[in-house]
Amino acid sequence: MKLKQQELYQLTVDELNKRKILPFSARNWSWQNVRQIDYFNQKNKSSGQIKRSDVMNILKEITIKKLDEIRERK
């Protein structure tokens, strides 16, 4: 089973909205917001500039959790 990025972003959005971590310019998160932050951080990784580390930490948690679930199924 392959993980789709959009699914990971949507799960991250659900978690962010549940934890009431709000974006600076909107009332709640959308998966496009999370995708934009992830893309920015991947593009600027070499410069050490990180945007919204709290969002990236939750994305990392969810990715690890989903990978563990996939490994358990096999």
Run means of pLDDT, 10 residues per run, the chain, 74 residues: 82 94 87 94 88 93 92 85
Q: Is residue 35 part of a domain?
A: no
Q: What is the DSSP letter of 24?
A: T
The whole-number pLDDT of residue 45 equals 86
The whole-number pLDDT of residue 2 equals 62
Say which residues have a Cβ less than 8 Å from residue 1's Cβ, sequence separation at least 6. Answer: 70, 73
The whole-number pLDDT of residue 26 equals 80
Categorise residue 52: left if φ over 0, alpha if ψ from -120 to 50, beta otherwise. left
Range(s) of the domain holding residue 10? 5-22+40-73
Q: Is residue 53 part of a domain?
A: yes
Q: Is residue 30 part of a domain?
A: no
- Spatial separation of the C-alpha atoms in residues 32 and 10, rounded to whole Å: 9
Q: Is residue 29 part of a domain?
A: no
The whole-number pLDDT of residue 74 equals 75
Domain count, the chain: 1
